Every structure is written in structure tokens, then in C-alpha cells.
Structure 1
Amino acid sequence: MKEMLLSLDLEWPLIIPAIMIVGYLIYAWWENATRTAEADRESRLPIYNDTMLWLWGLAAACMFGWLISGRTLVELGLTATEPGWRSWAAWGAVGLGSAYMAYSIIAPAVSTRLRQQIRTQLNALDIDFMRPRTTAEHRRFKLLSVTAGITEEIIFRGFLISVLALYMPLVAAALTAIVLFGCGHFYQGVAGVIRTALIGGFLTVVYLTGGSLWPAIILHILMDLAAGAQFQIINAFDEKDSVADGAEV
């Protein structure tokens, strides 16, 4: 018991940001649970701004705690990938992911059926309060995508897995971080949490394989930007697709 207390005392610069992460997840869940339908119809810019502020703040706290604990950013994952097959595997995942993201943007742009499928999926997720509509919101969503790609990888992959691994096996630490990452997306409903956790699992494998956060950061940014591009395509074709549906009826 004495050794455990000594360990906690020595690692407090890491424990405090970890507690902040859990606190943010609780706050995000509460905010979503108390959001009203009227608020959903207001501008989404304040939501984007608040989210970016929280994420950059948490990432900064994690990095600061990491550094003052005597560790380096290289140990946090902000380094080149491991040499050999691990690097090829990590960057290969980025290449394949990039190709899929390009397809996910191009295909709906030329297919009414795919656009309707995406609309059905979005309705199931019930994320209208986060989905950009105006030109200003689309621009800000791009900034949010880059922010999430960088900060969430630092928070949930680089920092959280490393801290949890001090007290449990690496596999258990990775799985716990994946679950918490999924819980950070409560606003997407249960289906969205599961989907996000699966994506988080994939990004975790990429990170642990390559030994670097950069491939996961790039993939994460591309995923969010592709989602934003899909939103923009859906918005652009809303009127045309509605006319087509009416003609079919």
C-alpha cells in the first residue's frame, strides 16, 4: 500500500490530466443529455468553438503533465514510426484509408442512392446539432476536424494508453482507452459510440504497430474531413434529391 501511494505521488502530473479527461467525458455526456430541441436549431459555431477549446486544453494539459513527469514527446508517440515492416504497415494503413476516404466522398457525389443511404444513417445517429449546414459552419467544421485528429490522438492514444499502462497490462490499457474514446461520442447515440470505439480500435492498432501517433493523426483528420465533405455533398443535393423522390412517388 505504501509503495502504491508513493507511485501515485510520483505520477501526479499524469494522474491530474487523466482525471480531467474523465471529467470532460462526464461533462460532455451531461451537456448532451440536457440539450434542448431549440438549441439544436441554433448556430453550431459555438458548439464547434467550445469543443475545440476543450480538446486543445486537454491536449495541452496532457503534454504538460507528460513533460514535467520527466518524459519526452518522443515517448508520447510524437516521433517517427518504427523502422521496418511496422512503418510500412502503419503508413500502408494511411494509404488505404486515404483511398477509401476519397471513394467515400466521390461516390455520394455521383449517386443519389448512396446519398439517401447516408441520410438514413445520419437520421439514425441523430447528430443534427453537430452537423454543419451553412458555409461558415462547414469552414469551422474543417478546423474542428483537424483539431480532433491531432488532440484526440494525443489524449486517447498517446497519453491515456501510456498512463493506464503504468497500472495495467498494455492490452487492457488500450482497450480501456478505446472504450473511453467511444464514450466521448455519446452525442451520436449507442450506435455512434460503438462505431467510434471500433474506429478508435483501428487507430490504436495503427499507433501501436507503427510506434508513432503521426499515421493515426493523419488518418483521424482524413476521416473527419471526409465526414464533413459528405455533409456538404448531402446539403448541396438536398433539393435535387427531394424532387427525385417526389417524382418516383
Structure 2
Amino acid sequence: MNIFLFVFILILVILMVLYPVSGIRGIRELRRKYAEGLPYSKISFYRSSMFASWLVVFLILLLIPLSGVSLTDLGFRWGLPDRSSLSGWIFYPGIVLYIMHLGQNLYYISIFRSKSEKRKKLAGSIPDDFNFFLPITAREKKVWNYLSLSAGITEEIIYRGYLFFALAVIFPSLHLVYILLLSTLVFGVGHLYLGKEVVKSTFLGLLFGVYYIVFDSLYPVMLIHTVQDLVVRDILQEEENNGEPISRMQ
């Protein structure tokens, strides 16, 4: 077994077994402490998530000196999207969808920072067994910024840049659509710890994969992924609920 295939299998095991199992255990522990009124640290969970993602990226980057894989192969490419590689009915709607998606997220970030009524309305709709995970204090929000940037970088390297390339190398006859679907499936499994929210995360993974195909570069996808994660940062406000999640106060 060559080093490329060995690393591919190892990474799949991490993404589809270790990630969901450790994530589910971590979330259950946070939820238990939250339900029992015990102190718990969301920051520790955020940091462990970042560490796990960067560990996989480190394994991927080891392929560069060991097997001749380049950063370009992993999606680190600059330049304008190449219209010639895709039909117009995919390329142009993909560009428009990306711009609308990015604009919507930036709008929500702005609204949640400045419009308390809209923020409170959305906060009240968050399931009570999930909002314990979101940042509330200023320190938690600061670490959430790092978590969002980290996820935007590492998850796109892993699920789009690496998986798209590795699947195409190992299964050269596999159509791009199936590569997109398989990478989306792995992305969804890795986010099972989010419970019902995994459906939304999987759909977002599909969108990110489409954007990667359209732009043929990780950079635009890293940007929108980071912004997407930052949207929820300001939904819960410490000064509005004395440090408690809004839905618990109701």
C-alpha cells in the first residue's frame, strides 16, 4: 500500500469514525452539564475542535514531501474561474448563487450586531438543547472568531481540496458529481455531533462543494465558510440575558 492510499484511509477513519464519535461525546457532556446547571467550558470544546481539524490538515500536508502532491493539487489556486471547464448553466448560476449567499451572510452578521429585536427573535427559535453550544460571553465570542476562521480553512482543505483530489486519484473513472456527493456525505458524517442541525450542515457542505467546482479554488470557499460560521456569533448576548442562553430564561 503506497503512502497516498494509506493516508487516505487513515483520514477517512478519522473523519467518519473519530470525528463524529468524539464530537458526540463532547456535545453530550456539555449538554449534561448544561441541563444539570453545572459549570462547563465551551471554549475548551472550541479549542479541541480546532486542534482535531488542524491535525488532519497536518497529515494532508505531509503528502507534499512524501508523495509529490502539491498545494495546487489541494486547491490552492489563484485566478479567475475558468468558464471553459463547465457548461454555462452550471457556471453562471454558481457565481450568482455564491455572491447572493455571501451577501446574505454579511447582511445577517450586520443585523445581528445592530438589531436587537431581530437577534432576540432568532435566539428564541434556537432549540434549548442546542444553544448551550453557541458563544455568549465576550471571551467565547473571541474564541469563536478563531474557530470560524479555523473551520473555514481546515475543513475546506480537508473536505473539498483533499477529498476531491484524492477521490479523483484513487478512483480516476469517478464522475465529478459522485465526488461532490461523496465529499458531502463525509462532511455530513463529520458533523453528526450537531444533531438535527447536521441536515443544514450537510446542505452547506454540498453548496461549498459546488462553489469549489465553479471557482476551482479553495480561497473563495474558505471565505464564505468562515463568514457562514460567524453568522451565529452574535445571536446570544451576555448583556441581554445575564450570561444565560435566552431560551433558558424564558
TM-score by length of 1: 0.79
Alignment counterpart, residue 23 of structure 2, candidates 23, 28, 31: 28
Deviation at 1:90, TM superposition (A): 6.6
Q: Which runs of 4+ in 1 moved over 6 A?
A: 86-91
Deviation at 1:70, TM superposition (A): 2.0
Compared CA separation, residues 209 and 46, structure 1 to 2 (3 A): same
| Structure 1 CA distance for aligned equivalents of residues 13 and 184 of structure 2 | 16
SS of alignment partner, residue 37 of structure 1: helix
2:225 aligns to what? 220
Structural mapping, 1:33-48, within 5 Å = 33=28, 35=30, 37-38=32-33, 41-48=39-46
Computed over aligned residues only, the root mean square deviation of the Cα atoms, in angstroms, reads 3.0
Q: Deviations over 1:138-163 (max 9, x none)?
A: 11111111000000001111112322
Residue ranges of structure 1 left out of the alignment (5+ in a row) = 1-5
Conserved? CA contact 1:14–1:69, under 8 Å? no
Compared CA separation, residues 46 and 72, structure 1 to 2 (3 A): same
Conserved? CA contact 1:181–1:200, under 8 Å? yes
Identity of aligned residues (%): 24
Structural mapping, 1:164-243, within 5 Å = 164-165=167-168, 166-167=170-171, 168-190=174-196, 192-231=197-236, 234-238=237-241
Number of residue-to-residue matches in the alignment: 231
Deviation at 1:35, TM superposition (A): 5.0
Compared CA separation, residues 164 and 117, structure 1 to 2 (3 A): farther
2:9 aligns to what? 15
TM-score by length of 2: 0.78
| Structure 1 CA distance for aligned equivalents of residues 76 and 20 of structure 2 | 24
Structure number with higher relative contact order (C-alpha < 8 Å, ≥ 6 residues apart): 2
Q: Deviations over 1:83-134 (max 9, x none)?
A: 444798776655433321222123343262x33431233226x323421121
Q: Deviations over 1:185-223 (max 9, x none)?
A: 223222x11101111111110001111111100000111
Deviation at 1:9, TM superposition (A): 6.9
Conserved? CA contact 1:76–1:162, under 8 Å? yes
